[in-house]
C-alpha cells in the first residue's frame, strides 16, 4: 500500500518545549493526520527527511471549547507525533526554522 507522505505529515511543531526535547532527546514533534499509524509516520519521516527513526509516540489532542458570542463549538481533534531519530542525525530543515 503506497501512502502519500505529504498527507500524513502536516507540519512541524516548534515551541520552546519541543526545542528542548530536540536538544535533550534528539526528538522532533509533528502534527500528523489523525488516521495515520505509527508505522506510516515512521515511513513518511524516513522518506521525507532521509533519517533513521528509532521511536514514534503519538498523542490525540482533544479539541477545545471555543465561543463566539453566545454560540459555542469545539475545535477539531488533532494528532501529534513525537519522533526520535538516531543519535548523530538531525533534520536540517526544521533546525533552520527553530534557529
Rounded-to-integer distance, Cα 12 and Cα 53, Å: 16
Over 41-94, what HEC string results? HHHHHHHHHCCCEEEEEEEEECCCEEEECCEEEECCCEEEEEEEECCCCCCHHH
Residue 66 near residue 72 (C-beta atoms within 8 A): yes
Whole-structure pTM value: 0.88
Mean pLDDT of the chain: 93
* 76 compared with 98, residue with greater pLDDT: 76
Q: What is the mean pLDDT of residues 67-86?
A: 96
* Domains in the chain: boundaries: 5-98
pLDDT of residue 97: 79
Would you state the pLDDT for residue 93?
87
Give per-residue pLDDT as tens, 17-44: 999 999 999 999 999 999 999 999 999 9
**Architecture in CATH of 5-98:** 2-Layer Sandwich (3.30)
What is d(CA 32, CA 83) in angstroms, rounded to the nearest whole number?
11
Amino acid at each position: 500500500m503506497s501512502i502519500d507522505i505529504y498527507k500524513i505529515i502536516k507540519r512541524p511543531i516548534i515551541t520552546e518545549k519541543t526545542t528542548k526535547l530536540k536538544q535533550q532527546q534528539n526528538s522532533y514533534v509533528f502534527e500528523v493526520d489523525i488516521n495515520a499509524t505509527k508505522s506510516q509516520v515512521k515511513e513518511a519521516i524516513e522518506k521525507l527527511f532521509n533519517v533513521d527513526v528509532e521511536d514514534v509516540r503519538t498523542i490525540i489532542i482533544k479539541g477545545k471549547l471555543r465561543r463566539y458570542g453566545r454560540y459555542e463549538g469545539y475545535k477539531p481533534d488533532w494528532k501529534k507525533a513525537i519522533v526520535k531519530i538516531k543519535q548523530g542525525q538531525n533534520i536540517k530543515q526544521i533546525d533552520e526554522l527553530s534557529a
